[in-house]
Amino acid sequence: MKIERAAVIGAGVMGAGIAAHFANAGIPCVLLDIPAKDGPAKEGTDRSAIAKGAVAKMLKTDPAPFMHPKNAKLITPGNLEDDLSLLADVDWIVEAIVENPAIKSDLYKRIDPVRKAGSVVSSNTSTIPLAVLTEGQGEQFRKDFLITHFFNPPRYMRLLEIVGGADTRADALAAIADVCDRRLGKGVVHCKDTPGFIANRIGVFWIQAAVNAAVDLGLTVEEADAVGGRPMGIPKTGIFGLMDLVGLDLMPHIAKSMSATLPANDAYRGQMREHPVITRMIAEGYTGRKGKGGFYRINKAGGGKVKESVNLQSGEYAPSEKARLDSVSAAGRDLRKLCEHPDKGGRFARRVLAQTLAYAASLVPEIADSIVAVDEGMRLGYNWKQGPFELIDRLGTDWFAELCRSEGIPVPALVETAAGRPFYRVEGGKLQHLTTAGVYDTVVRPDGVLLLSDIKRAAGKPVWKNGSASLWNIGDGVLCIEFTSKMNAVDGDIMAAYEKAMRLIGDGKGDWKALVIHNEADNFSVGANLGLALFALNIGLWPQIEEMVEGGQRTYRALKYAPFPVVAAPSGMALGGGCEILLHSDHVQAHAETYVGLVEVGVGLIPAWGGCTEMLARHQANPKAPRGPMPGIAKAFEIISTATVAKSAAEAKELLYFRATDGITMNRDRLLADAKAKALELAQAYTPPEKTTSYVLPGPTAKAAMELAVEGFALQGKVTPHDKVVCAALAEVLSGGEEADIAKPVGEDHILRLEREAFMGLVRTGGTIDRIEHMLLTGKPLRN
């Protein structure tokens, strides 16, 4: 069965967010809520005001639920009384209304007669078992019903828990899982019909255990988050920061619903505890970021901005103090060392990890058939770097069993089964996991998923590598360059790796046919290595700096005009020099969540590895722009001078960082396979692009126009003194320079020379050096 059209019922934060994500996937979606009775006067008698208001609100929400504002047009808002007939055209109806079985049951009975035969209905419930939801419903409804549990916010959280019931049609389950995977880009985890499924079952326990331990062991919220954040492979928000994000008031609700449905002997019952300080905070409106503040708050009293945190014992706020724990600094990335440390940080880590990981281990096979699903659930649903079983492996199963004993926790059966063996192992280059039967099974990836990590594991060693990049054989004659430098910053070694790749691939007619640029880090590349640049600047190595610029241009040009296809497959941030390589690729196959930008002006520079030249070419050739020499120049100037970063691959297309022909892959796990397929397709009859030789640029006239614009912004106070210097240099490049004239088109070599000259001029200014230093010190741009 095919899912072409969808509907979401319930236009709350989750429902509306799911509808927006359908739109992001290009799936038209009906969004229904109850009729508005007493809507604001402005909306008059519009009975669909609730759903319409939800869409309007999402257009203003940051981070944006929509990947592009135009996606909002794919949503048809309506109300449940007048517009039920809209459901007759949809293939999948997602119910995301209040968590009340009686109200849900009534709704199902109303939608069942109008929905299309063969359509699927799923609930986004996070707590109510499927068996309860289908009670009293007709046979066909039960066959067409399942649970699809999205995480908030639906666009950004990758986990989707899917639960089928005893009656659910297998083809319905498969079709929904497939559309969630390929079209919505979710990591689909099959769960059993148990309370909280996988991620919330463990996540809620973990949060409660951590709060209890922090209070009992006397840790401050900063200390708890310092231990419970990065050292455990958890986002730096830690536990209290996370609660501020999701809302403190959610905790009592979850506790209540969990205790209503969990088995009588469940370990969570032992953790459930009301903390008077938190109860008081909720009562007083300190519910987190959505309220007056939470465990952390920004106190703006007296005109300042002071970060404060709450004292877990007294409930009083005081200026936040950075945690200083020996355990954290001594352990580094060694989890075992952290747990063994005698200070309160170590004791906290030991207790929280022992309780949480033991709980998780005790739940297989109750909540899922394999440990792989549990680990994936925690990685994708709670952004843990590693799942519970991967964490146990870091500690060692034996060591962990011992830890449980010392903490007075029963050793989980699965840990006993492991008997000292790891939960995961690599056998014959393949990743295997321990089953409940005590044997190892190969971890099977879904069809069409190709992970560089799997390839690396199987290959053992790369084709070639240096300090900042590796070249991997990803099969069928395709070579993949992986950045390995810190934050994937681009440096000389990465340029050398490109050169090596070009030598290996040669004319593309031998063993190698194509190059793919890809890595699995959070961010594709944050740009050129500024630290190296600053070092060279400080000692005045001008010729070396110039060579760095010119060499980068040479390498990127060589890749662009190489006799074989180059396909880039980015995900996450691709900034500065990391964006410029995308501009030089024959094809970009981007993950939908790719954030691209030429942000050089932030450090007082201009893109000089061909970024200006490529953006100019693209914007001047943009068929949608008005004719004439100025619109393309003005657009490129606007984008580069304001360091505009596209907040999705779709936005990147609009800004022409990506071409209309570039591809977007919704599921990150499918990115490399898509890129490789495209590379092989291009390799079949590949001819390199022609050199652009006819840039029509008005020279000083265009520069004058750009200067006028900048002067206007300067008067408005939107441009700093050094911005003016940088903008002037950028205007010089994009205008074509002193000699350019509309009657005398220039080639790309001319603009590349201007890029180099502008760059070399800027690096000699104090303002630019200050910006670079500031960025390296603080990670933030200096507005000088």
Partner 1 sequence: MKSVVIAGYARSPFAFAHKGELTKVRPDDLLARVIAALVERTGLKTDDIEDVIVGCSFPEGEQGLNVARSISFLAKLPQTAAATTVNRYCGSSMQSIHQAAGAIQMGAGEVFVCGGVESMTRVPIMGFNPMPNPALKESYPEAYCSMGITAENVARKYAISRAEQEALAVASHAKAAEAQAAGRLSDEIVGIRTPAGLVDKDGCIRPGTNAEGLAGLKPAFTADGTVTAGTSSPLTDGASVVLVTTEEYARANGLPILAKIRSVAVAGCAPELMGLGPVPATRKALARAGLSIADIDIIEINEAFSSQAIACMRDLDIDPSRINPDGGALALGHPLGATGARITGKAAALLKREGKQFALATQCIGGGQGIATILEAV
Q: Which is nearer to partner 1, 373 or 706 (CB)?
A: 706
Pick the closer one to partner 1 by CB: 428 or 626: 626
Q: Which is nearer to partner 1, 644 or 701 (CB)?
A: 701
Residue 52 CB, nearest distance to partner 1 (Å)?
16
Q: Considering the complex, what minimum distance in angstroms separates the CB of residue 721 from partner 1?
A: 13
Q: How far apart are CA 448 and CA 646, in angstroms?
A: 28
Nearer to partner 1, 619 or 703 (CB): 703
Closest approach, Cβ 41 to partner 1, in A, equals 14
d(CA 581, CA 610): 9
Minimum distance from residue 778 beta carbon to partner 1 (Å): 25
Q: How far is the CB of 783 from partner 1 (least distance, A)?
A: 14
The CB-of-624 to partner 1 minimum distance in angstroms stands at 13
Residues interacting with partner 1, by CB under 8 A? 626-631, 698, 700-705, 707-708, 712, 715-717
CB of 44 to partner 1, least distance (A): 16
Distances (CA, A) of 692 to 183, 613, 648, 748: 36, 10, 28, 6
Cβ proximity to partner 1: between 460 and 717 the closer is: 717
- Side chain identity at residue 652, one-letter code: A
Q: Name which of 65, 122, 63 is nearest 91 in CA terms.
A: 122
In 3D space, the residue among 696, 748, 700 whose CA is nearest the CA of residue 728 turns out to be 700
| Smallest separation (angstroms) from partner 1 to the CB of 716 | 6
Measured from the CB atom, the residue of 207 and 634 that comes closer to partner 1 is: 634
Looking at beta carbons only, is 2 or 627 nearer to partner 1? 627
Q: Report the nearest approach of partner 1 to the CB of residue 49 (Å).
A: 19
Do the beta carbons of residue 141 and residue 118 sit within 8 Å?
no
End-to-end CA separation in angstroms for the chain: 59
Please identify, using beta-carbon distances, which residue of 457 and 718 lies nearer to partner 1.
718
What values do phi and psi take at 538, rounded to 5?
A: -65, -30
Residue 605, CB half-sphere, CA atoms under 13 Å: how many? 29
- The Cα–Cα gap between 117 and 94 comes to 16
Instruction: Give every CB contact of residue 140 below 8 A, 6+ residues apart in sequence.
Output: 112
Of 471 and 630, which has the nearer Cβ to partner 1? 630
Cis geometry, peptide bond prior to residue 626 (ω within 30 degrees of 0) = no
Long-range contacts of 449-457 (CB under 8 A, 24+ apart): 449/669, 449/670, 449/673, 450/474, 450/670, 450/672, 450/673, 450/676, 451/520, 451/669, 451/672, 452/480, 452/482, 452/518, 452/519, 452/520, 452/672, 453/520, 455/480, 457/426, 457/429, 457/430, 457/431
Query: What is the rounded distance in angstroms from the CA atom of residue 765 to the CA atom of residue 720?
Result: 15
CA–CA distances in Å: residue 601 to residues 547, 641, 726: 20, 6, 7
Q: Can you spell out the DSSP letters for 263-307?
A: -TT-THHHH----HHHHHHHHTT--BTTTTB-SEEEE-GGG--EE
Q: How many residues does the chain have?
A: 784
In the complex, the smallest distance separating the C-beta of residue 737 from partner 1, rounded to whole angstroms, is 12
Residue 445 or residue 718: which is nearer to partner 1 going by CB?
A: 718
Q: Which is nearer to partner 1, 541 or 714 (CB)?
A: 714
Q: Which is nearer to partner 1, 383 or 701 (CB)?
A: 701
Rounded Cα–Cα distance for residues 392 and 62 (Å): 36
> What's the gap between Cα 696 and its chain centre?
39
Least separation, in Å, of the C-beta of 731 and partner 1? 11
For the bound state, the minimum distance from the C-beta of residue 53 to partner 1, rounded and expressed in Å, comes to: 19
Q: How far apart are CA 240 and CA 433, in angstroms?
A: 32
Of the pair 69, 766, the CB lying nearest partner 1 is at 69
Question: What is the side-by-side order of every strand in the sheet holding 75-79?
Answer: 75-79, 29-33, 6-9, 92-95, 120-123, 145-150, 159-164, 187-190
Dihedrals φ, ψ of 163, to 5°? Answer: -135, 125
Least Å distance, CB 705 to partner 1, is 5
Q: What gap in Å lies between CA 707 and CA 561, rounded to an integer?
A: 34
Instruction: State the minimum distance, in angstroms, from the CB of residue 636 to partner 1.
Output: 14
CA distance 685 to 626: 34
Q: Using alpha carbons, select from 131, 250, 128 the residue that is nearest to residue 196.
A: 128
Residue (136 or 712) nearer to partner 1, CB: 712
Half-sphere exposure of 716 (CA within 13 A, CB side): 8
Q: Smallest distance from the beta carbon of 718 to partner 1, in angstroms?
A: 8
Residue closer to partner 1 by CB (options 365, 700) is 700
Q: Both tokens of residue 662?
A: 């570039």
Taking the least distance from each CB to partner 1, the nearer of 349 and 616 is 616
CB of 730 to partner 1, least distance (A): 17
Residue 368 three-state SS: coil
Of the two residues 608 and 719, which places its CB atom closer to partner 1 in the complex? 719
Smallest separation, CB 776 to partner 1 (Å): 30
What sign for the dihedral angle of Cα 271, 272, 276, 277? Answer: positive
Of residues 67 and 697, the one with the C-beta less far from partner 1: 697
CA 469/CA 492 separation, integer angstroms? 10
> Which tokens in the block code for residue 488?
């994937």
Classify 13 as helix, strand or coil.
helix
Residues 6+ apart with CB under 8 A from 168: 142, 143, 144, 145, 146
Least distance in Å: CB of 701 to partner 1?
5
- DSSP per position, 126-178: SSS-HHHHHTT--HHHHHTEEEEEE-SSTTT--EEEEEE-SS--HHHHHHHHH
What is the b/e burial string over 406-442, where b = at least 16 CB atoms within 10 angstroms of the residue's CB?
eeebebbebbebbeeebbbeeeeeebbbbbeeeebee
Residue 134 token pair: 């289908």
